[in-house]
Amino acid sequence: DAKTTQPNSMESNEEEPVHLPCNHSTISGTDYIHWYRQLPSQGPEYVIHGLTSNVNNRMASLAIAEDRKSSTLILHRATLRDAAVYYCILRDSHGSSNTGKLIFGQGTTLQVKP
């Protein structure tokens, strides 16, 4: 899987939007962009994923650059419960393997201030 680059940490104020960036300049045409988050002392949870178009769900929005070399996870109104480590991961859909394994990087630690 291609590599992603994220800032180590970010801060946000409660009830304000948060934009978490991810660079993936070596992304291939068949790579999906996935976001997971890990709250303290819990396992990671799926947030959102996309291929080319922007995506929205109940948790967040994913904005994908036109050249797909970067993406941004958007939390529209941060709450204290959103404080977590956010991971941006590329998943290859091409190839014969069905292992489905995810390789996590260091992610971005998001702090939310009241």
Partner 1 sequence: SQTIHQWPATLVQPVGSPLSLECTVEGTSNPNLYWYRQAAGRGLQLLFYSVGIGQISSEVPQNLSASRPQDRQFILSSKKLLLSDSGFYLCAWSVSKIRSGANVLTFGAGSRLTVL
* Interface pattern 50-79 for partner 1 (x via CB under 8 A): -x----------------------------
The interface region with partner 1, picked from 5-13, 65-73, 75-83, 88-96 by CB under 8 A, is 88-96
Whether the Cβ atoms of residue 84 and residue 39 lie closer than 8 Å to each other:
yes
114's CB contacts (< 8 A; 6+ apart) are 14, 80
- Identify the CA nearest to 65 among candidates 100, 111, 19: 19
Q: Which one of 57, 105, 111, 113 is in contact with partner 1 (CB under 8 A)?
A: 105
Q: Which one of 30, 52, 57, 79 is in contact with partner 1 (CB under 8 A)?
A: 30
Of residues 96 and 114, the one with the C-beta less far from partner 1: 96
Task: Give the ranges where the chain is alpha helix by DSSP (H).
Answer: none
Whether the Cβ atoms of residue 104 and residue 3 lie closer than 8 Å to each other:
no
What span, in angstroms and rounded, lies between the C-alpha atoms of 6 and 27? 14
> What's the closest the beta carbon of residue 49 comes to partner 1, in angstroms?
6
Contacts with partner 1 by CB under 8 A lie at 30-32, 34, 36, 38, 41-46, 49, 51, 91-107
